A and B are shown apart, each in its own frame.
Chain A
Amino acid sequence: MFINFFFDLKQASLPVSLKEYLMLMEAMNKRVVDSFNVNDFYYLSRSALVKDERYLDKFDRVFGHSFKGLENPEGETTKEIPEEWLKLMGQKYLTDEEKKMIESLGGWDKLMETLKQRLEEQKKRHQGGSKWIGTGGTSPFGAYGYNPEGIRIGQKEGKNKKAVKVWDKREFSNLDGDVELGTRNIKIALRRLRKFAREGAETELDLDNTIKSTAHKGYIDVKMMPERRNKIKVLLFFDVGGSMDAHVKICEELFSAARTEFKHMEYFYYHNCLYDAVWKDNNRRYNDNIKTWDVLHTYPSDYKVIFVGDAEMSPYEITYPGGSVEFWNEESGETWLTRMLNVYENAIWLNPIPERYWDRIASTSIIKQIFSDRMFPLTIEGIDQAMRELNK
């Protein structure tokens, strides 16, 4: 039974390993919990097998599936559903007409009474229809219906502690995010871009200098030096909106990884192509933008520049003045990109679209050309290559 559960977890692509399974078995063996109590077993297996809150919801679902039918000895049967367990759920999409119709059934007490009657009459599972208790119907009893006074019967949505199984509560559902690619990998890739320099307080022993100075002076003269720090400075430009919406997640990951990895990092947003202004806050992009000239003048040329964008647009948006889809640009995107590249020697473009499609998109080819082939896919390998390029 436990082996199957383990494989179910594997199949649901939860990152569980044999080591963790053995750990769980060891814990069961040592009687950490009373093996007859399902809840305790649930807590124990969760603690041993899940190592990230993102996966808690998935785990709950698999657990519920694998141990279906496993009842608590003291668990209630369906006929003894406590009143509090049945929850009144208001639906907002009803017309006044429908509301009146429902009121005609009478208040809460009446509903409860009718429900009890129906439970008596009904013996089998039911779906659809308008009287019996089941799912998808218009009867006031059952789940997923449109009756605002309807009584929702369903373990998954239940709130009462006694009757509902813990894992069915799905308390962690909003922590689940299907992020397979963690920021850790990106950070490791970004680490390629490091240039150490000694700066700040002198905290480390400078051995060479100490020996030299000691020999010179005739007594031991300890020399200290500052710690090495990553001195790399980065400007990040993110394409936002439009076709980039599909790549928001990976861009967020890149951003959060870069922010912790680089001490000197500035970021800006642009749309499709670089023109005369960029912005730092998407809500105020029209009022609070920053002139691209100012960027070029503010940050010295030893900054490394990373553009992130899908480079997918009409070729006119790059090559012609006035080509922008959003406003009249006096100078073409190409002019601005070239200006940027003239100031910053180390610049690359990261593209979330897979590399094999690049040749088929005209605008991508143009930008790749402007960047002298320094365009890399936004994958771990791509970032890795890009960082090597920037380090040159």
Chain B
Amino acid sequence: MKFEGTSSYIATEDIKVAVNAAITLERPIIVKGEPGTGKTMLAHEVAKSLDAEIITWHIKSTTKAQQGLYEYDAVTRLRDSQLGDEKVKDIKNYISKGKLWNAFESDKRPVLLIDEIDKADIEFPNDLLLELDKMEFFVYETGETIKAQNRPIVIITSNNEKELPDAFLRRCFFHYIKFPDPNTMEEIVEVHYPDIKKDLIQEAFKIFYDIREVPGIKKKPSTSELIDWLKLLMTDDVDAKILREKDPKKLIPPLHGALLKNEQDVHLFERLAFISRRENENIE
């Protein structure tokens, strides 16, 4: 089992090595990176490339570790017992399986995506330590031990809102997806829009990377935003010439709403773009 990237996802060498190490050693891999660099996408693509089932567990601030294992619905059982339902005699009827259980039960080795683990309570990762390490857990209500038939490939994403405990990190591989360089970015765009005009890409890239370089910008545009913006440029059939526009009155790139997501950034960009373009003209 080896991950090699797919036709719709450009995997750089370092991602491949990290993912393959996690697959071979059957250990979880934590993926971090700027928003929009394709952390969640990575899990889906790994599943696709290995032809495995993907089980997604989205973490919210209210998610508890136990919910990933199983939940015992005592209230329904109480109600049923009142109505004299036959179901009530077997406690198993009231245990609903969590995502981890589903993943452990799977016949073929699945990919388990634990998405945005940092959203949960600070103790959440610690509560899953043993379960992810041994890939088994105990169901108190029925007294059975659930053990993974095939250790799932666990991919965990984090947006760095909370720090993860050391003991948890020690058991995982780690990968930080760095922002793609222009060459990789070109490949990524190629995958998404194979028939885009070359000169449009060039001008759009220049503007895109310029915006990312703007000091003090609140929200840097990311890959997914570039992709959206290019799509807009293509549907509006914007000419590359317009992007090359140097008229100070038209400094903000067309359809900039896709790239700059708050008004302070737009103002800041207006100010800085003016200065930098003036300098460019002087050089030329």
Contacts and interface: CB of A to CB of B under 8 A. Distances in A.
Contacts of A183: 162-163
Interface of B: 13-14, 17-18, 20-22, 24-25, 27, 29-30, 32, 74-75, 78-79, 81-82, 122, 161-166, 169-176, 178
A47 B17 CA distance: 8
Interface of A: 15, 17, 19-20, 23, 26-27, 30, 32-33, 39-40, 43-44, 46-48, 50-53, 56, 171-172, 175, 182-184, 187-188, 205, 210, 219-220, 222, 260
Given A19-B170, A171-B178, A172-B178, A27 B25 contact: yes
Contacts of A47: 14, 17-18, 21-22, 29, 173-175
16 contacts: A15-B166, A20-B170, A23-B25, A23-B27, A32-B20, A33-B17, A40-B13, A43-B14, A44-B17, A47-B14, A47-B18, A47-B29, A47-B173, A184-B122, A184-B165, A260-B161
B162 A260 contact: yes
Nearest to B74: A205
Given A43-B14, A187-B122, A188-B122, A32 B178 contact: no
A50 B122 CA distance: 21
A40 B20 CA distance: 11
B40 to A, nearest CB: 18
A50 B178 CA distance: 14
A43 B161 contact: no
Contacts of B17: 32-33, 40, 43-44, 47
Nearest to B169: A51
A144 to B, nearest CB: 24
Most chain B C-beta atoms within 10 Å of own C-beta, residue among A17, A47, A260:
A47
Contact of A32 (B13, B14, B21, B164): B21
Contacts of A48: 21, 173-174
Contact of A43 (B13, B169, B172): B13
Given A15-B166, A184-B165, A205-B75, A51 B24 contact: no
A26 B173 CA distance: 13
Nearest to B19: A47
A23 B170 CA distance: 9
Nearest to A51: B169
B194 to A, nearest CB: 24
A261 to B, nearest CB: 8
Most chain B C-beta atoms within 10 Å of own C-beta, residue among A46, A175, A183:
A46
The 9 A-B residue pairs with the shortest CB-CB distance, nearest first, are: A43-B17, A47-B18, A51-B169, A184-B163, A53-B176, A43-B14, A220-B82, A51-B174, A32-B21
Contacts of B21: 27, 32-33, 44, 47-48
A184 to B, nearest CB: 4
B256 to A, nearest CB: 25
Nearest to B163: A184
Contacts of B171: 19
B231 to A, nearest CB: 28
Nearest to A56: B176
Nearest to A161: B183
Contacts of B175: 47
Contacts of B174: 47-48, 50-52
B274 to A, nearest CB: 20
Nearest to A220: B82
A188 B163 CA distance: 11
Contact of A26 (B13, B25, B74, B162): B25
A32 B173 CA distance: 13
Contacts of B79: 220, 222
Given A19-B170, A26-B25, A53-B176, 20 more contacts: A19-B171, A23-B173, A43-B18, A44-B18, A44-B21, A46-B18, A47-B18, A47-B22, A47-B29, A47-B175, A48-B21, A51-B30, A52-B169, A171-B178, A172-B178, A175-B176, A183-B162, A184-B162, A220-B78, A222-B75
A112 B104 CA distance: 63
Contacts of B75: 205, 222
Given A172-B178, A184-B122, A187-B122, A30 B25 contact: yes
Nearest to B14: A43
B283 to A, nearest CB: 10
Given A51-B172, A220-B79, A182 B20 contact: no
Contacts of A260: 161-162
A344 B74 CA distance: 44
A56 B18 CA distance: 14
Contacts of A219: 82
A87 to B, nearest CB: 15
A222 B176 CA distance: 49
Contacts of A50: 174
Contacts of A172: 176, 178
